[in-house]
Amino acid sequence: MRTTYSDGAFWRKLASHARLAGREVVEKALCLYYAARRPETPAWAKAVIVSCLAYFIAPLDAIPDFTPLLGFTDDLGMFASALAMVAMHIDGDVRTAARRRADSWFGPFIEEVDEAR
């Protein structure tokens, strides 16, 4: 089965599964999405990103998304791998855009404070 990537399919999947997937998965997906939209991002990096996002929206994947606790671990692994490959194209603007969109869905990110300090 072949899955083709489209922005519409990406946004539908992300919006409908955001709460189940969690903030970490969503923010990584958004970083990749926004990096792919930058004109400065080279074609090879965009190909890596689009391949990863196509896997995310695919109806069948290694671990079905509805599987409790494990459903998005394969997607998270794909996102982490893709982010490592294209890290030099994830700038502050991309991270800020991803954080703002995630904040709009999950509320502001509050870092945990280490109680031992």
Across the 117 residues of the chain, what is the mean pLDDT of every consecutive 10-residue run? 75 85 89 95 95 82 52 80 93 95 86 53
Torsion of CA 21, 27, 32, 35, to 10 degrees: 160
CA-to-CA dists, residue 77 to 25, 32, 92, 100, 117, angstroms: 9, 13, 22, 23, 32
So what's the pLDDT on residue 116? 54
So what's the pLDDT on residue 115? 54
φ, ψ for residue 86, nearest 5 deg: -115, 20
CA distance 41 to 94: 11
φ, ψ for residue 113, nearest 5 deg: -95, 130
**Full-model pTM:** 0.79
So what's the pLDDT on residue 4? 75
So what's the pLDDT on residue 77? 83
Which two three-digit tokens encode residue 68? Answer: 């409790």
CA distance 97 to 112: 22
So what's the pLDDT on residue 60? 67
So what's the pLDDT on residue 112? 53
So what's the pLDDT on residue 107? 87
